[in-house]
Amino acid sequence: VILPRAVRDALVAHARDAAPGECCGVLVGSAGAIVSAVPARNLSGQPSRFLIDPEDHIQARRAARAAGRDVVGFYHSHPDHPARPSQYDLDHAWPTFAYIIVAVASGKSEAMTVWYLKEDRSAFDEGELNGN
């Protein structure tokens, strides 16, 4: 999926701001290209969990539709953890959406990966992030 540099930078900034908590948000665009990211509230009270506020999700979807776009995925951060999906991430993912994970650790450069749930929901396949 194409991820513009400016959006990538925004995801990293959000992840660093939220650390040591997890940030989360909605990815807007079309199939194959993300054009913007909308930060959302993380309703999960637990560490290493994220739960996108459904209101933020609905609002982002409405705004995306009005602009002729759609919600194509979600992002969240892994503070001090690798950019690989957890079992929790697997259990809470939906097919067809792009799941971007931003791993941040203090004093280190970030890592970013994108994942797609297999049709049978058994695991994720890693995708490719391309800048433009």
Binding site residues, Zn ion, CB under 5 A: 86, 89
Neighbours of 3 (CB within 10 A): 24
> Rounded to the nearest whole angstrom, what is the least distance from the CB of residue 112 to Zn ion in the complex?
13
Q: Are 74 and 50 in contact (CB under 8 A)?
A: no
Amino acid at 32: G
The residue sitting closest to Zn ion, measured at its beta carbon, is: 89
Which C-beta is closer to Zn ion: that of 56 or that of 89?
A: 89
Query: Whole-number minimum distance, CB 7 to Zn ion, in Å?
Result: 19
Q: How far is the CB of 105 from Zn ion (least distance, A)?
A: 15
Q: Which two tokens stand for residue 30?
A: 């079309």
Letter string b/e over residues 14-36, b meaning 16 or more CB atoms within 10 A of that residue's CB: bbbebbebbbbbbbbbeeeebbb
Which stretches does DSSP call E strand in 2-132? 24-30, 33-40, 70-79, 98-104, 111-117, 124-126
Pick between residue 44 and residue 86 the one whose CB is nearest to Zn ion: 86
Catalytic-residue membership of 126:
no
Active site residues: 22
